[in-house]
Amino acid sequence: MYPDSLKQLIESFKYLPGIGEKSAERFAFSVLELDEEQVDMFSNSLKNVVNSIHKCPKCNTLTDLNLCNICSDTSRDHHSLCVFEDSKNVFLFEKLGKFNGKYHVLDGLISPLDGINPEDIGLGSLISRIQEEDIEEIILAFKSGIEGDTTALYIKRILGDLNIKITRLASGVPIGVDMEFVDSLTLERALLDRTEVE
């Protein structure tokens, strides 16, 4: 029904998360409205991303350099290390602009039900980094929930002998959200971790 190249483009857009037939069609038709320059940039950037982006050998963040620009930045505080389950979150934190330490990205979280065990998430490189570098605090910035909790507890246990502070991001009621929309687990945690009004 569609011309071949249009059909292929629609199929390509369906690779994207959450994109079904209708949206893919809308996207493909919108490409026909773009300048040739824009389409070239779009097409080339797809190939460039796959060819140039890899994981930083030190912190596991996505980068197009030999060593990512955070690892090679000597002006950053190398005493505190923020640990993520996914390299997307590094960019989220950098955008926030409130953390000046270094980062480390694991290959996911421990999840025995999914067959992901402690040896599968790249803890070895985190531990050797902590042993080699002069790190005073690691901040575990995992998503809340059973997998994040398990991974945090496991890391706490294996690093117990080293004299470093291990913290997690606070859980609680999101700012500006009405109490009635907050789930009961979050409310329970918010109550448990309540802070003194100063």
- Residues lying near its own copies in the complex (CB under 8 A) are found at 1-6, 8-9, 11-12, 15-17, 25-32, 34, 36, 38-53, 62-65, 88, 91, 94-95
79 with 101: CB under 8 angstroms?
Answer: yes
Select 45 or 128, whichever has its Cβ closest to its own copies: 45
Provide the token pair at 126: 């985190």
Tokens 């690691």 correspond to 138
Q: Pairing relation of β-strands 62-63 and 54-55?
A: antiparallel
Select 91 or 174, whichever has its Cβ closest to its own copies: 91
79 with 134: CB under 8 angstroms?
Answer: yes
Shortest CB 36 distance to its own copies, Å: 6
Select 43 or 72, whichever has its Cβ closest to its own copies: 43
Select 9 or 139, whichever has its Cβ closest to its own copies: 9
Select 63 or 135, whichever has its Cβ closest to its own copies: 63
Q: Write the single-letter amino acid at 47.
A: K
d(CA 74, CA 87): 21
Shortest CB 30 distance to its own copies, Å: 5
d(CA 61, CA 40): 28
Shortest CB 129 distance to its own copies, Å: 21
Shortest CB 177 distance to its own copies, Å: 18
Shortest CB 55 distance to its own copies, Å: 10
Biggest distance spanned by C-alpha atoms of the chain: 68
Nearest partner of 99 among 112, 86, 90, judged by Cα? 90
